[in-house]
Structure 1
Amino acid sequence: MNYRLGIDTSCYTTSVAIMDDSGNLLADVRKVLTVKPGGRGLAQSEMVFQHTRNLPLVFAEAMAQFSGPVRFKSVTVSNRPRPLPGSYMPAFLVGEGYGKVLTVSQQIPLYKISHQENHIWAGRWSADGPKGTDFLAVHISGGTTEIVKVGIGSSQQMSIDLLGGSLDISAGQFVDRIGVALNLPFPAGSHLEKLADCGRSGLCKVPVAVRNLNVSFSGAETYVRRLLAQGEPPAALAAGVQLCVAETLVKLMKQAVAQTGLTEILLVGGVSANQFIRDYLCRHSQGFSLFFPDSRYSSDNAAGCAFC
């Protein structure tokens, strides 16, 4: 049987995935990088160190899913954040380096895609759509808030055209910064979601900033910090942050649909795993269709690399 190996070494997760030619996921192993309590992220040198330490262990765990030796047909790695000239981040060099060693030793092809393309492929595989060759994708994570136009060519080549996104911090940074201010662990997404469930009835309304296809979260962050200093309940603030992100995304998607005429939208990235945000978007998606991957494949993973 032919097996395809995917490797992704992103800012906060070391990931390995193995699929067969039919797109069946046979191994999916990840290890989240360690951030010290109270920290708001990692330096690139620390990411490289942890990926270098993690990747052999993650790979060994993936291979333990098989009873004997595995011959790979190909290896695909994410080697940069986005499919743009000059897009670069040292953390991705770790996965690319391991990929080169494997492909040279087994004399098989090495394919390189961006982390963003990996997210979109994983989302399309998990959500089983969009089926069209042209669609919109919203990438909302700790480092990115973008809406893009995606084209899938006849040879399964992906093209991505940036339409808009955040002019300052990403939705994930907004969530993480407020989460840390509320004394939640970093990354704060899942912890803020649990806290917000307790503050829904008395949530603090947070202003939304959307102009055409551009959004902003820095003003919202300042506003929430001011309310926190005034003694507003943490749960109400967490709920307000979630609603702010959800309302921002609805307005952004409506603008993109109006400008492009495309009505299928795939949502990927860790922020899109938030169940409240998913439910809100579904309730306000008149005129377009939303595709959500399983929440496990919203966050960083290597399934997209193995699938494409």
Structure 2
Amino acid sequence: MYFLGIDTSCYTSSIAVVDIFDNIIYDGRKLLEVATNSKGLRQSESVFQHSNNLPKLCAEAMDSVDSKQIACIGVSTKPRLVEGSYMPVFTSGHNLAKVISSCIKVPIIECSHQQGHIIAGAWSINKQYADNYLVYHISGGTTELLKVDDKNQAVEIIGGTEDLNAGQYIDRVGVSLGVKFPCGKEMDKLCSAFKANSIELPISVRNTVLSFSGPESHVQRLIQKETAVDEAFKAQIAVSVFLNISKAIEKTIFNASSHTKIKDVLMVGGVASNSIISKILQDSEKLKGLGIHINISKPQYSSDNAVGAAIYAKRAYQNFGGLNGQH
């Protein structure tokens, strides 16, 4: 028995197939193309690219298993599990799920993109949480600190950014430095290539809420003043931004854990897999001193994927026979 997962985010088309034991049978992804010097894609452009990418991914996924053995389809239909959460990109995957469902006569089980991240992240490190735990979803589109109750399928936002997402902060700075969008991976590589000293940047944290607009403006002024924007300078700015994000995240985790008494924290999302950010948080003596355990999902499953949607569908099918899905 197999379970098909579909996710169509702002920058990645993804389809996955898992078996009853959560083994990955197929994991196909296609990054959407972003023009040089661009700061992103319009939703309409993303939807268009999804329509071009999905047929090939779907064909490969269906060829990987006997379609008669597919029990149900999991698909992310919205960014988050909150009322009013919507992005046009997710209609691409939802519509494909409807077509497949009508052809092979299996139910659709809907989830949010964020739920997919959480499930894939925990699965990637073989982590099972018995009680409530905290999740920090840090990506280009989201920077949210969540209290998660798997038993009751409840997700509560208890902190995060009040303006820029961490990924937006990184990308805006990266584009100003001439780095190709999305900028995170290339800026991470710059930090590895050049052992640059960091520049101290302002940190804006209020309890569990952080702000990146002030630090981003500060960095932009530094870039504008610099006469020689060489690779070493780019690395210095990159490491400074990553350290700035790390320290802000660290403070909000500390404050959230102090308030909720929850010690387990799962980090998911593309930014969470950054080598500097992940190391600082895992090595933090401040967090260890409070007994906080930082678990960071494997990089391959921190980024956008459909594995989480497939596993979500499998669990729902097992627990509820697919009755909570839509057909």
TM normalised by structure 2 equals 0.90
State the partner residue of 1:216.
211
Q: Is the 8 A contact 1:228 1:234 kept in 2?
A: no
1: distance between equivalents of 2:280 and 2:194? 16
State the partner residue of 1:44.
43
2: distance between equivalents of 1:35 and 1:124? 30
2: distance between equivalents of 1:248 and 1:69? 47
Aligned residues between the structures: 303
1: distance between equivalents of 2:15 and 2:128? 25
1: distance between equivalents of 2:221 and 2:200? 13
Task: Describe the superposition over 1:132-160 as per-residue Cα deviations: whole angstroms up to 9, x where unpaired.
Answer: 2310000000010000000112xxx5210
CA displacement at 1:6 relative to structure 2 = 0.4
For the structure 1 residues 135 and 100, does the alpha-carbon distance in structure 2 shift closer, same or farther, using more than 3 Å as the test? same
Letter in 2 for 1:81: P
Q: Is the 8 A contact 1:140 1:146 kept in 2?
A: yes
State the partner residue of 1:305.
309
Name the SS of the counterpart of 1:248 in structure 2.
Answer: helix
Q: Is the 8 A contact 1:174 1:218 kept in 2?
A: yes
Q: Which segment drifts farther, 54-63 or 12-21?
A: 54-63
2: distance between equivalents of 1:43 and 1:134? 36
State the partner residue of 1:19.
18
- Aligned ranges for residues 269-284 of structure 1 at < 5 Å? 269-284=269-284
State the partner residue of 2:294.
290
2: distance between equivalents of 1:270 and 1:305? 17
State the partner residue of 2:171.
176
Q: Which segment drifts farther, 91-100 or 195-204?
A: 195-204
For the structure 1 residues 82 and 174, does the alpha-carbon distance in structure 2 shift closer, same or farther, using more than 3 Å as the test? same
CA displacement at 1:131 relative to structure 2 = 2.3
| Residues 1:248 and 2:248 aligned together | yes
State the partner residue of 2:235.
235
Runs of 4+ in 1 over 6 A off after TM superposition: none
State the partner residue of 1:88.
86
| Residues 1:266 and 2:266 aligned together | yes
2: distance between equivalents of 1:8 and 1:249? 27
Q: Is the 8 A contact 2:117 2:269 kept in 1?
A: yes
Q: List runs of 5+ in structure 1 lacking aligned partners.
A: none
Name the SS of the counterpart of 1:82 in structure 2.
Answer: coil
Task: Describe the superposition over 1:101-152 as per-residue Cα deviations: whole angstroms up to 9, x where unpaired.
Answer: 1112222110111111110011111122242231000000001000000011
1: distance between equivalents of 2:16 and 2:39? 28
CA displacement at 1:70 relative to structure 2 = 5.0
State the partner residue of 1:29.
28
Task: Describe the superposition over 1:12-69 as per-residue Cα deviations: whole angstroms up to 9, x where unpaired.
Answer: 0000010001111111010000000000110010011000110011122333444x55
Name the SS of the counterpart of 1:14 in structure 2.
Answer: strand
2: distance between equivalents of 1:266 and 1:158? 16
State the partner residue of 1:8.
7
Name the SS of the counterpart of 2:135 in structure 1.
Answer: strand
State the partner residue of 1:132.
130
1: distance between equivalents of 2:190 and 2:208? 30
Letter in 1 for 2:252: L
The one of 129, 139, 142 equivalent to 1:141 is 139
The one of 149, 153, 156 equivalent to 1:158 is 153
2: distance between equivalents of 1:70 and 1:224? 55
For the structure 1 residues 228 and 189, does the alpha-carbon distance in structure 2 shift closer, same or farther, using more than 3 Å as the test? same
Q: Is the 8 A contact 1:130 1:291 kept in 2?
A: no
CA displacement at 1:199 relative to structure 2 = 4.5
Letter in 1 for 2:249: L
2: distance between equivalents of 1:294 and 1:14? 19
Query: Cα RMSD between the aligned structures?
Result: 1.3
2: distance between equivalents of 1:64 and 1:107? 17
For the structure 1 residues 61 and 105, does the alpha-carbon distance in structure 2 shift closer, same or farther, using more than 3 Å as the test? closer
2: distance between equivalents of 1:133 and 1:96? 31
CA displacement at 1:217 relative to structure 2 = 0.4
1: distance between equivalents of 2:99 and 2:64? 21
For the structure 1 residues 141 and 93, does the alpha-carbon distance in structure 2 shift closer, same or farther, using more than 3 Å as the test? same
TM normalised by structure 1 equals 0.95
Q: Is the 8 A contact 1:130 1:264 kept in 2?
A: no
CA displacement at 1:230 relative to structure 2 = 1.7
CA displacement at 1:71 relative to structure 2 = 2.7
State the partner residue of 1:58.
57
**Structure with the higher fraction of residues in helix conformation:** 2
1: distance between equivalents of 2:237 and 2:63? 44
